[in-house]
């Protein structure tokens, strides 16, 4: 059970980080313009004027300063050694990621170099601070399944790099990546309260405050973009924080972290499938992402973002509900039902908006044939 004192600390942390972000973001905007870290419109982008980026530096600075201001006030014994390792891994690895993103915002680095640095940051988490996925709760298994080093290490690195890039891929509209990340962090915060994990509460509250303060300047019409410095840092932070879901024995299963970051992960998955179907390189940019498809259906910039916020909130709610009941006797069955229902809904949604291929709708065509069959039979009689 979380104490009222810890909830108060979380609230103060949230407010402090938000205030820092509100102060720092305009300063970072001026810096971005001065050094030429700007985003120029092209055929793939929806904005029509030059915009300063580098906003992720403000998010990172607000998070880091806010966290370092709060930590000395925590009583001795509040943080375990693992908690300290987690915080250190998040700060050290996050610093490397932000530096990478900031350089990319200015110089447009190659994809291979960015991937190598991301793997390096993930290795810092795994080898430097021994933070990795050691246990996995498989539905219908009798207990948490231990993972050997040969599986734990690559799985953790893959998870961190994958989520980091997933957030980067959805950063295509004003306020989209920041808002979706904020919803995911809020989900982790709620789960931290349910689990009584004070470290998760503290980290999530500070990160959520930093995102909220930045979003004030980033929501449509944006005054500054977060750039890769922001999307990569938020992805890295979410990957690290959500890994805690893998370590809870009685409350969450392996599907919970997937639900928390359901929107960026599903968008990334469909992007890979789309490019494979169209025989394009997996890393080739295109205009087939979720936000592009919604805009092509006629939704405005703001409405598109709000729709995706609603989808992210739905995923977050599913994660909280699923984790809250997964320690009951029906937990495994509910997890199985949630997975099946979400996979079905994702496929239907993908076919409706044409996120993979406008001409291929196998499930919708199958359902249409089922609906027409009784009518055909009745005419035959």
pLDDT truncated to tens, each residue of the chain (381 aa)?
A: 577 878 898 999 999 999 999 999 999 999 999 999 998 876 555 556 789 999 999 999 999 999 999 998 888 878 888 888 889 999 999 999 999 999 999 998 998 999 999 999 999 999 998 888 775 555 555 455 556 677 889 989 999 999 999 999 899 899 999 999 999 999 999 988 888 888 889 999 999 999 999 999 999 999 999 999 999 999 999 999 887 644 543 334 557 778 888 899 999 988 888 888 888 887 777 788 899 899 989 999 999 999 999 999 999 998 888 777 665 555 566 667 777 888 888 889 888 888 887 777 888 888 888 887 655 555 554
Sign of CA dihedral 123, 125, 130, 136: negative
Q: What is the pTM of this model?
A: 0.89
Ordered DSSP codes for 318-355 = HHHHHHHHTTSTTHHHHHHHHHHHHHHHHHHHHHHHTS
Supply φ then ψ for residue 196, to 5 degrees.
Answer: 70, 25
Surface-to-core class of residue 3, CB atoms within 10 Å of its CB (0-12 exposed, 13-18 middle, 19+ buried): exposed
Surface-to-core class of residue 189, CB atoms within 10 Å of its CB (0-12 exposed, 13-18 middle, 19+ buried): buried
**117: closest CA among 133, 134, 99, 135?**
99
| Residues pairing with 38 in the sheet | 52
Q: How far is CA 356 from CA 33, 272, 311, 352, in A?
A: 37, 9, 18, 10
**Residues in the chain, total:** 381
Token pair recorded at residue 46: 């929806």
Rounded Cα distance, 223 and 27, in Å: 12
**Rounded to 5°, angle at Cα 56 from 217 and 237:** 120
């Amino acid at each position: 059970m979380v104490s009222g004192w810890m909830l108060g600390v979380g609230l103060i942390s949230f407010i402090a980080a938000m205030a820092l972000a509100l102060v720092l973001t305009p300063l970072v905007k001026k810096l971005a313009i001065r050094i030429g870290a700007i985003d120029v419109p092209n055929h793939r982008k929806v904005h029509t004027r030059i915009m300063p980026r580098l906003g992720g530096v403000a998010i990172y600075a607000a998070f880091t300063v806010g966290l370092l201001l709060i930590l000395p006030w925590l009583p001795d014994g509040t943080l375990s050694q693992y908690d300290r390792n987690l915080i250190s891994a998040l700060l050290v690895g996050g610093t490397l990621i932000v530096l990478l993103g900031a350089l990319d915002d200015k110089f447009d680095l190659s994809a291979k170099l960015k991937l190598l640095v991301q793997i390096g940051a993930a290795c810092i988490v795994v080898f430097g601070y021994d933070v990795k996925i050691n246990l996995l709760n498989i539905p219908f298994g009798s207990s948490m399944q231990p993972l050997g080093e040969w599986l734990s290490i690559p799985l953790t690195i893959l998870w961190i790099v994958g989520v980091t890039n997933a957030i980067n891929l959805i950063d295509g509209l004003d306020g989209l990546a920041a808002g979706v990340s904020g919803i995911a962090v809020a989900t982790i915060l709620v789960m931290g309260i349910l689990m009584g994990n004070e470290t998760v509460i503290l980290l999530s509250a500070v990160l959520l405050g930093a995102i909220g303060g930045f979003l004030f300047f980033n929501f449509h019409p944006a005054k500054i973009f977060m750039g890769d410095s922001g999307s990569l840092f938020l992805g890295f932070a979410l990957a690290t924080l959500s890994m805690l879901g893998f370590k809870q024995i009685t409350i969450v299963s392996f599907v919970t972290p997937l639900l928390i970051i359901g929107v960026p992960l599903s968008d990334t998955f469909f992007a890979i499938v789309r490019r494979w179907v169209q025989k394009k390189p997996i890393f080739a940019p295109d205009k087939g992402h979720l936000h592009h498809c919604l805009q092509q259906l006629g939704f405005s910039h703001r409405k598109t973002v709000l729709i995706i916020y609603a989808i992210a909130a739905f995923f977050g709610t599913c994660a909280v509900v699923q984790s809250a009941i997964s320690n009951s006797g029906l937990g495994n069955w509910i997890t199985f039902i949630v997975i099946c229902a979400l996979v079905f809904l994702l496929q239907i949604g993908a076919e409706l908006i044409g996120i993979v291929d406008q001409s291929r709708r196998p499930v919708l065509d199958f359902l249409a044939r089922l609906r027409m069959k009784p009518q055909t039979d009745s005419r035959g009689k």
